[in-house]
């Protein structure tokens, strides 16, 4: 079964130094069960190959049906040093929603 992440979740991203934070929120309980099970730190790290050069940490917020990801070494040195057009990782939540989960 294939599910597009954008069909079951939304989110927001921002910067924490050179790390980006991406919060992903499922629209309903069923969606949360899917992302909790399949949207692993490893899956996210693989998705961001060529963008995230550090480790990916994952935290669960079941009350909010949400997962929070910290992507280290991702923003080209951090908000003010970075030469990236999106130096603060504002568009990375949308980039994660491009993912298709296969299970």
Partner 1 sequence: MKEKIRVASGQGFWGDLQSIPLEQVSKGEIDYLMMDFLAEVTMSIMQKQKKRDPNAGYAKDLIQILSDIFPYAVEKNIKIITNGGGVNPKACVDDIIKCAHKHGIRGVKIGVVTGDDILDSIEELQKEGARFDNMETGQSIESIKSKLLSANVYFGAVPIVEALKKGAQIIITGRTTDTSLTYAPMIYEFDWKWNDWDKLAAGVVAGHILECGGQASGGNFLGNWKSIPDLAHIGFPIAEAYPNGEFIITKHDGTGGLVSIETVSEQLLYEIGDPTNYITPECISDFTSIKLENAGKDKVRVFGIKGSPATDFYKVSMAYSDGYSAAGTLTYSWPDALEKAKKADEIIRTRLSDLKLNFDEIRTEFLGVNSCHGPLAPIQNEINEVVLRIAVRGHSYNDIEAFGKELAPLILTGPPSVTGFAGGRPKPAEVVAYWPALIPKKLVEPKVKILET
Please, are residues 54 and 31 in contact by the beta-carbon 8 Å criterion?
no
CA–CA separation, 33 vs 86, rounded Å?
Answer: 31
| Candidate list 7, 55, 91, 100; residue touching partner 1; CB under 8 A | 91
Question: How far, in Å, are 2, 32, 44, 102 from residue 90 at the CA level?
Answer: 27, 23, 17, 26
For residue 57, which of 23, 26, 101 has the smallest C-alpha distance? Answer: 23
What is the closest distance, in whole angstroms, from the C-beta atom of residue 94 to partner 1 in the complex? 6
User: Binding marks (x or -) toward partner 1, 8..37, rule CB under 8 A?
Assistant: --xxx-xxxxx--x-x-x-x----------
Which residues lie near partner 1 (CB under 8 A)?
A: 10-12, 14-18, 21, 23, 25, 27, 47-51, 57, 59-66, 68, 70, 76, 78-81, 83-86, 90-91, 93-95, 97-98
């Amino acid at each position: 079964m294939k599910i597009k992440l954008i069909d079951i979740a939304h989110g927001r991203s921002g910067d924490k130094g050179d790390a980006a934070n991406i919060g992903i929120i499922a629209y309903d309980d069923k969606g949360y069960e899917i992302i909790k099970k399949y949207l692993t730190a490893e899956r996210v790290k693989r998705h961001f190959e060529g963008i995230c050069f550090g480790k990916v940490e994952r935290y669960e917020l079941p009350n909010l049906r949400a997962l929070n990801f910290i992507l280290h070494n991702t923003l080209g040195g951090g908000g003010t040093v970075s030469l990236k057009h999106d130096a603060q990782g504002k568009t990375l939540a949308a980039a994660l929603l491009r993912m298709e989960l296969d299970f």
